[in-house]
Structure 1
Amino acid sequence: MTSEITAAPDVRSATHETLEDYTLRFAPRSYRRWSTGVVAVSALGGIAYLADFAIGANIGISYGTTNALWGIAVFAVVIFATGFPLAYYAARYNLDLDLITRGSGFGYYGSVVSNVIFASFTFIFFALEGSIMAQGLNLGLGMPLWLGYAVSTILIFPLVIYGMKVLATLQVWTTPLWLVLMVAPFVYLLFSHPESVGAFFDYQGDSDSTNLGSIMLAAGVCLSLIAQIAEQIDYLRFMPPKTPSNARRWWLAMITAGPGWVFFGAIKQAVGLFLAVYLIANLSDGAGIANQPVHQFLEIYEDIVPHAAALTLAVVLVVISQIKINVTNAYSGSLAWTNSYTRVTRHYPGRLVFLAFNLAVALVLMEANMFDFLNTILGFYANCGMAWVVVVASDIVFNKYLLGLSPKQPEFRRGMLYAVNPVGFGSMLLAAGISIIVFFGGFGETVKPYSPLVAIGLALVLPPVFAVATKGRYYLRRTDDGIDLPMYDEYGNPSGAVLTCHVCQQDYERPDMAACFTHDAHVCSLCLSTDKVGDHVLPAQT
């Protein structure tokens, strides 16, 4: 009974779901009360960020319009293709990407590495978005950048404390104003300065010609956003059950808010480049501010309204956009860090501890002025993010559905999975490691621009190769969880049947439970995660 005593305090903290928001387990039916439309709008609210405008401007200035647009197109195709199976699994089985990753070739502890990659993504992009917000506050209020960084960080903390319930309301209510403020300047520019379209397509940037190397370098920067699908999934896991009556709405919401986010992102990148080219061509100091979204919008607003009003509109747009995305960055980061820490230490400190940690790391990056070396950071990070996401997508498509070597239904509970599965874990390490060597010129300057292709190609091919080589034996440690109740209902949705955990005395739905090894009772996945002795964990099945 030792682990009963040690696990209970951690689990009592984790079951305060108003704050913890199902950090370590699947989202149960009893909590998923939102419609498909609300979930989709909430998920898409998280892509309101202005970093796309900066990314589009940066790659355009470096590689020219044509190379940048082709790079953006490559980015969109890769993101949609890899994001589709992940988003489907999240919405169908109500799991975040870490829980999906565990059963998709990584193992119970193996997915900790991918979780750290994602957590790093959240504070890198929080810092990027916070820097943009600080630029807006500096321009509009004269606030020093260092103070703007602190304000943009501290402001987010109280908004993220209560998880999905507050975030859904925030995203839904701020989206209409954000759309008007963002779209109006671009539409105005197209109609009032039609000559800017020709100048946009003629822009060469620092590149002399259109070539595959420049296209792939541009695509590599954009593909750093590949881990955004994990943030979309943090919302999609709250989708209602898919039934014949809501199937069309369910698919539309899943596709639009899941892999479909990339089309909105690609459009914003192209618009960011368009605005940058306009500033470079029409302002004497345009080149110095062309990659800063707050200046991009301010200059266009000033063509429409007086300076004071234009400044107000630009600052409002920046603040709304950055709050919408950074609540998502902070929220998802807190989930990822907590999940990893709890698995490794078997201690649950609470999501809010890692919310504070994630924000602190982001603030340090902002104060270090990471905005000045954005392309290098994103280009390097893209290799890690692509290796992880593409490996999971490959395992779902090839190993689960085509080869049948990976269990089709996801599994995430301790005791049911091996600690590490070489199929996904090994594939990710090889794909990321080799592509990073390519990125830094380890195989010569000629192939250096193609590190994204190396990461994608290896991550796509290696999982089925490893699965065939191992005959899929390292996916499931057990196939029977000891509970004689169906896991799924008649429509294939996770069952809503409720069982009581004998350790923490809390009620959980069927997919969260397993039989206890030492007692004739049930134990929840939370208590399994925090069981320091391991006497509740089922043994390997022979």
Structure 2
Amino acid sequence: MTQSETRPTADTGTPAVRSVDAATRETLEDYTLRFAPRSYRTWSTSVVAVSALGGIAYLADFAIGANIGISYGTTNALWGIALFAVVIILTGFPLAYYAARYNLDLDLITRGSGFGYYGSVVTNVIFATFTFIFFALEGSIMAQGLELGLGVPLWLGYAVSTIIIFPLVIYGMKVLTKLQTWTTPLWLVLMVLPFGYLVVTNPESIDDFFAYQGESGNGGTDVGSILLAAGVCLSLIAQIAEQIDYLRFMPPKTPENSRRWWTAVVLAGPGWVLFGAVKQVVGLFLAVYIIANVTDGADIANQPVQQFLETYENMMPSWLALTLAVVLVVISQVKINVTNAYSGSLAWTNSWTRVTRTYPGRLVFLGVNLAIALVLMEADMFDFLNTILGFYANCGIAWVVVVASDIAINKYLLGISPEQPEFRRGMLYAVNPVGFVSMLVAAGVSILVFFGGLGETIAPYSPLVAIGLALVLPPVIAVATKGRYYLRRTDDGIDAPMLDGDGNPSALVLHCHVCDQDYERPDMAACQTHGAHVCSLCLSTDKVGDHILPAQPARA
């Protein structure tokens, strides 16, 4: 390697901008679609963790908990929430570790974990769908708050809750980190204090909560109802992808920070579900309280803004209660929807860039994602929330469990899948049947079960069908194919090692001859025709394949 090929980055961690196109300038803001380099990852483990957990401030959990409790009763809802939490922890841990250790978002992880370079496009669509569904849900909750507190018509509230998010997401991770850190303390106080007051001053509400039988009125534990409740909750399984959008900026893991690093990864990765499950239980608790104590309470019990308004009114004058309820709703909606909008724009952009080999800019798809969410809000998605989430859960489960299965079983247990991640074009096959086929089969069969295609008796079991198939099929197909479709090449043409002595991605800086920028070793590969280096985004946008290394001979 010559001296001219290694150039230091600036002290700020952002490479100096030379003659560079719009795609490169934008992706350098927060390394959109790229490996997140060490020079940019200047945040501490605690800042990354707090920022990631700030994204789970959404009030949708309260609505979900209320809806499943009203439908299936407290006992079945609680068991469903517990099942949901166990699945999230088991599947989320390998993904969170992989993201934090190798500094990749979930799409880049998915490419090398059984799906292939183009095969993971379909999972990006699944994730993008998650972001606009939950953006719409949170926006609907905010609109309800604006209508209640300020008299803003719902249709206008939907528009306002969408438009205010756009400018906050333009500047990516730098702004989002500050926003999440600054607003979290106030959010915690506004959410926890009224619930604690209600439990202390109305202890009888606890008995009412556990005795609530839901609309069915049977009051007993029912496996089908538990699974239906868990299925609705499991629509949140793709939340791990949003957590990873923050976790990819974790600092390198070293012997000195090992304990802090692991704590941050566990809490901000799969640990998000502990907070989410608590919010779902609280949402159900508040719904039962409203049904029992408010005239016509059943009509508003599943609306978080009404839940907190009724609770605040037990503590303070009505005008102040209304003000705080609206403030809580607005803060919660902004905290989560900046993440939904940011992650959704990344997912759409990534898919478009790979399929068309052009980069239109993340802001274009930020607008697309917000527009779709606004349409859902105007369609009043609250009226069919359980059906939307139950259906979506099957797709989300299939994707996340397949990737978790490939990492945990195929990479670390069987050693068939390459342990070191790969995401660059030319290094991967277009489609790998290990993950791609597994996900399609798991999602397709579980959706068929969900809609009663294999009989109404087993319809509630669709989440278990998705989990089972997504867990078992990847190792089966990997063994059957002998892992031959993971890597198109094992050598990227660069002699320097990919990892440092601690197993972290190397900080060595190389120069991309296409966009004239410097990037760290994991983002680079050798160029086929120019005897130089090329970065991952320039490989993605290479329309004629001029820079892409040829495939190595297939293994026997």
TM-score band, normalised by shorter chain: over 0.9
Quick one: distance in 2 between partners of 1:180 and 1:347? Answer: 46
For the pair 1:152 / 2:170, whether they are aligned, the reply is no
- Cα distance, 1:21 vs structure 2: 2.0
Q: Is the 1:10–1:349 contact (alpha carbons within 8 Å) kept by the matching residues of 2?
A: no
> 1:453 aligns to what?
464
Say yes or no: does 1:220 pair with 2:231: yes
Cα deviation, residue 10, structure 1: 12
Matches of 1:12 and 1:449 in 2, distance apart? 51
Shift in CA distance, 132/263, structure 1 to aligned 2, threshold 3 Å = same
SS at match of 1:303: coil
Superposed, which structure 2 residues align to 1:366-381 within 5 Å?
366-381=377-392
Q: Percent identity?
A: 84
Does residue 438 (structure 1) correspond to residue 449 (structure 2)? The answer is: yes
RMSD (CA atoms)? 1.2
Once the 2 structures are TM-superposed, how far is the Cα of residue 172 of structure 1 from its aligned partner? 0.3
Supply the AA of the counterpart residue of 1:194.
Answer: P
8 Å CA contact 1:114–1:388 kept in 2: the answer is yes
Name the structure 2 match of 1:72: 81
- Aligned to 1:82, which of 88, 91, 94? 91
Deviation of 1:19 (Å):
7.3
The equivalent of 2:439 in structure 1 is: 428
Matched, 1:354 2:365: yes
Residue of structure 2 equivalent to 1:320: 331
Per-residue CA deviation, residues 473-506 of structure 1 (Å, 9 max, x unaligned), is 0000000000010101000000010000111111
Look up the equivalent residue of 1:345 and give its one-letter code. T
Amino acid at match of 1:97: L
Return the match for 1:474 from 482, 485, 490.
485
Within the candidate set 429, 436, 447, 1:418 is matched to 429
Unaligned regions of 5+ residues in structure 2, if any? 1-17
Cα distance in 2 for partners of 1:399, 1:142 equals: 55
Three-state SS of the structure 2 residue aligned to 1:427 is: helix
1:515 corresponds in structure 2 to: 526
Counterpart in 2 of 1:268?
Answer: 279
- Shift of residue 54, structure 1, vs aligned partner: 0.2
1:462 aligns with 2:462: no
Cα shift at 1:18 = 7.3
Conserved? CA contact 1:105–1:475, under 8 Å: yes
What is the identity, as a one-letter code, of the residue corresponding to 2:516?
Answer: Q
- Name the residue aligned to 1:289: 300
Q: Which residue of 2 is the match for residue 334 of structure 1?
A: 345
- Cα deviation digits, residues 150-208 of structure 1 (max 9, x gap): 00000000000000000000000000000000001110011000000000000000231
Q: Does 1:169 align with 2:173?
A: no
**Counterpart AA for 1:487:** M
Q: Deviations over 1:60-81 (max 9, x none)?
A: 0000000000000000000010
Q: Is the 8 A contact 1:20 1:350 kept in 2?
A: no
The one of 311, 315, 336 aligned to 1:300: 311
Q: Report the CA distance between 1:215 and its aligned residue.
A: 0.1
Letter matched to residue 155 of structure 1: I
Change (3 A) 1:371 1:11: farther
Q: Which residue of 2 aligns with 1:137?
A: 146
- Which residue in 2 is equivalent to 1:404? 415
Alpha-carbon contact 1:19-1:161 (below 8 Å) kept: no
In structure 1, list runs of 5 or more residues that go unmatched. 1-8
Is residue 394 from structure 1 mapped to residue 405 from structure 2 by the alignment? yes
8 Å CA contact 1:216, 1:450 repeated in 2: yes
- TM-score between both structures, scaled by the size of structure 1: 0.98
Cα contact 1:18–1:162 (8 A) shared by 2: no
SS at 2:510 equivalent = strand
Q: Secondary structure, in 3 states, of the residue corresponding to 1:15?
A: helix
The CA deviation at 1:14 is: 2.6
1:123-166 CA deviation, whole Å, 9 max, x = no partner? 01000000000000000000000000000000000000000000
Which contiguous aligned blocks of 4+ residues in structure 1 show a shift greater than 6 angstroms?
none
**1:57 Cα offset (Å):** 0.2
State whether residues 10 and 347 of structure 1, in contact with CA within 8 Å, keep that contact through their aligned partners in structure 2: no
Partner residue, 1:5? none
TM-score (norm 2): 0.95
- Aligned-residue offset at 1:12: 2.2
Alignment size in residue pairs:
535
Is contact 2:19–2:516 with CA below 8 Å preserved after alignment?
no
